[in-house]
Structure 1
Amino acid sequence: MIAVRISIVLLLLATLFGSSLYWLIGQFPGFVVISLGTTALQFTLWTGVLAVLALWLLFRILLSLIRALVLPGLHLSRNWQAKKQHKNSQLTYRGLLDLAEGRWASACKLLTKTAAGSELALINYLGAAGAAAELGNEEEVNQLLALAEKADSRNELAVALTRVRLLVGKGDYEEALPMLELLHGRHPTHPYILSLLERSYRNLQQWDQLEKLLADLRANKVLGDEALRQLEISIRAQQLTALAKNLGPDMASNKQALVDLWGRTAKSLRSVPVLIAHHAALLSQLGEPVQAEKELRRAITKGWDKELLTSYGLLGGELAAQQLKTAETWFKAQPDNPDLLLALARLCQRGELWGKARDYLEAALELDSRSEIYAELAEVMGRLGEHDKSLQFYRQGLLAVTGGETQLMVRA
């Protein structure tokens, strides 16, 4: 019943539309003329309208046919690309996992294989280069890093850092250093560049350059406070050692070099025993034993440091007798200090007090059987004419160095 009603309504609408169209054609007969050169084509306005409608309808039909033929192929291509990308991502994941687990050969192969089709080709090549480096394939490392540069030229820093990291990792500090200095110039606050640069300077023993780097290391928190302090101590100790080994013929210049070096040493470091010991040794070497002895004496009683006591016993100059008196007063407060006993023995040797030196060394051996004590006691026994005992102490000192058991030898 409803269908019949709908049909009647549609029929009425069609009749109304047809009547209206017929009326319009009668009211506006018009015509259209199309001229092409000497040829003219004329037809009624409504014929033109129908032609346009027909052409539009034909265009729509053709467009639908094209979509029906092309779209399935596009969908198939997209699905294939998606599957390929998914497989590539899985292989990349396996490659990175192998890299993390130390399976270098597998990681290098997988990451290289999937790099070309990866959205993160740079990461693939850098990871593969790291794996190749672990395998010792330097030529392959260079090839992979070159491919990484081509894959993403915007991230030159990542490639350059990987290159220098691999060089530093295998100990090629001299080759890595120029690149690191160039990178530091471009990125002066980069923590990892600073870390690699610090490591390279330290291993190449370029202490002056490392000292200049301290400010950047501190400002960018590359090292913790204690690590930075230890680095500063190490730098200054090495610089003092280098100065002692490379003194020139001009004593005034040598003294000024020491003044300058000690002058730029932070006040908080001037009380560090190892630095005081090096400084005092240099003072004595430069003809200032009185000042050296005074500096050591003031520092020793603050902590009885081994390094300071050793330096006091080895201090040159003509102050052995005075030093011995000072050290003997310390002995009353530190009778069981083997480092003080060794220093006393050495001071006695400088004064050729061989019997007294032997007593101090034997007392030191009862507290600490170090090889250097055996060596000193062997020397003293030789001076006293007891060559058999001297040889025996040398042997025991050698056993102490090599980890063998030692036997304490005391004077009968």
Structure 2
Amino acid sequence: MKKLFLLLLVLLAVGAWLGQKMVEDSGYVLLAYKNTTIETSIWVMLFVLVVLFFALHGTLNLINRGRKRSWKFTAWREHRNQRISRRKTLKGLTALAQGNWAQAQKQLVQAAERSDLPLINYLAAAKASHEQNNEVATDELLQKARSSTPEAEVTVAISQAEIQLARGQLEPSLATLLRLRSLAPKNTYVMKLLKDVYVRLSDWSALSDLLPVLRKNQALPEEQIRSLELQCYTKQLESAAASSGIDPETQLKTLGRVWHSIPLERARDIELVQRYTELLIKLGAEGRAEQNLRDLIKRHWDEKLVSLYGRVQGEYPQKQLQHADQWQRRHPDSPALLLTLGRLCMRNQKWQEAVQYFEQSLALEPSRDALAELVRLLRHLGEQSRAQTLLEQHMQLIANDLPMLPMPEEADLAAKVS
């Protein structure tokens, strides 16, 4: 109350002072522009300026208030759209997880239309559409995802490649993945998808080029890469041996070229060596198979390779036996080598030496192969009782998982027979 009273006193004092000044001298203002002139007193001019100032100030306030209201409305509308979008996205993803594809697609598309980040919605909707086998809608949704977020081309293309692969569209999927490799050369998931496409296309040459990249980037466990390598190289060997329209010699050259392209570490794999040996024998090159096995064993001693060497018939059986006999000096206690020596002795018709080698192998490490070879040879030598004794002694090698069952006593069996 006191402040208001003081303010009124100040205004009255200012007004009295201004009135006195206006009476003493009204002043003179002349404004001229071209042929137009305006004459007035200085006090009128000041009054007009004050009025214009307050009018302009009021107008600006009105404009600012209008903008604030518009901004608040826009913010409210965006917040409402986001809230609706989140709710529909949640419903859509829940339906997707439950396998309700139609509902998921509907909710996700509606959410994408209100979302400021529609990429995820369109990609999930494309998956739901794909599960309904609606290829047209799926492709449209992928294109919308691409258009909504151009910088996410890699993400969209990966989804597209997955869907193409699931449809069985191998060539389009391959084209998409090759383009992705140029965009994201270190993306391990792209490498995995590319591996799947090569396997389904039986493109073993391309897969063999991809395998070192998979290993370098640790895209797959080492065990899985080794399995893929074995499959890949085996298929390449079989393809070379099955080439039609060419003579056997050319087939052998092609097979040999593929074999020598295989890394040495993989070329020692017993399954791969065995398959290569079988293909050489099939093409009538058992002598070359024997030489290849001999070279591998010299570079890297392996019991399985040594055992396989005894199954191959070289061009010169006597020299083959001599090579194996030289190995025994370094590996005198190798059951596999003794078994191989026994088989090679049989090829050279050295029956008694073969019996000795088989017995030594069986004594060091009882095995079905050694037992079978020894029993077969003894029977052909007329030593039936000895062969039967061996079978009884090593019954567990023939069947080691027989259940425990009661057996008749020998005395009871003899009494029944008599």
TM-score by length of 2: 0.69
> How far apart are 1:21 and its partner, in Å?
7.9
Tell me the distance in 1 between the aligned counterparts of 2:17 and 2:172: 95
Gap change, CA 1:152 and 1:28, over 3 Å in 2: same
> Deviation per CA, 1:342-397, whole angstroms, max 9, x where unpaired?
8x59x99xxxx8x99xx99xx7998569xxxxxxxxxxxxxxxxxxxxxxxxxxxx
> How far apart are 1:55 and its partner, in Å?
1.5
Match of 1:30 among 15, 28, 31: 28
> Deviation per CA, 1:16-43, whole angstroms, max 9, x where unpaired?
57526854995782303143x5443221
Tell me the distance in 2 between the aligned counterparts of 1:20 and 1:101: 84
Residue in 2 that maps onto 1:183: 180
The alignment-based identity, stated in percent, is: 24
Residue in 2 that maps onto 1:408: none
Match of 2:361 among 333, 341, 349: 333
Residue in 1 that maps onto 2:194: 197
**Is 1:242 paired with 2:239?**
yes
RMSD, aligned α-carbons: 4.1
Gap change, CA 1:211 and 1:16, over 3 Å in 2: same
Matching of residues 207-226 of structure 1 within 5 Å? 207-226=204-223
Residue in 2 that maps onto 1:380: none
> How far apart are 1:203 and its partner, in Å?
1.6
> How far apart are 1:274 and its partner, in Å?
0.7
Matching of residues 333-352 of structure 1 within 5 Å? 333-334=361-362, 337-338=367-368
Residue in 2 that maps onto 1:126: 123
Tell me the distance in 1 between the aligned counterparts of 2:142 and 2:313: 56
Tell me the distance in 2 between the aligned counterparts of 1:30 and 1:58: 24
> How far apart are 1:197 and its partner, in Å?
0.8
> Deviation per CA, 1:181-232, whole angstroms, max 9, x where unpaired?
2322343322122111111111211111111112322232212222222222
Tell me the distance in 2 between the aligned counterparts of 1:331 and 1:24: 141
Match of 1:150 among 141, 144, 147: 147
Q: Is the 8 A contact 1:122 1:152 kept in 2?
A: yes
TM-score by length of 1: 0.70
> How far apart are 1:166 and its partner, in Å?
1.0
SS in 2 for 1:41: strand
SS in 2 for 1:189: coil
Q: Is the 8 A contact 1:280 1:292 kept in 2?
A: yes
Gap change, CA 1:277 and 1:51, over 3 Å in 2: same
Tell me the distance in 2 between the aligned counterparts of 1:91 and 1:134: 20
How many equivalent residue pairs? 355
Residue in 2 that maps onto 1:44: 41
Residue in 2 that maps onto 1:233: 230
Tell me the distance in 2 between the aligned counterparts of 1:105 and 1:312: 64
Gap change, CA 1:22 and 1:337, over 3 Å in 2: farther
- Gaps of at least 5 residues in structure 1 are 370-412
> How far apart are 1:238 and its partner, in Å?
1.4
Structure 1 range deviating more: 280-289 or 134-143: 280-289
Q: Is the 8 A contact 1:296 1:312 kept in 2?
A: no
SS in 1 for 2:133: coil
Letter in 2 for 1:117: R
Residue in 2 that maps onto 1:262: 259
> How far apart are 1:68 and its partner, in Å?
5.7
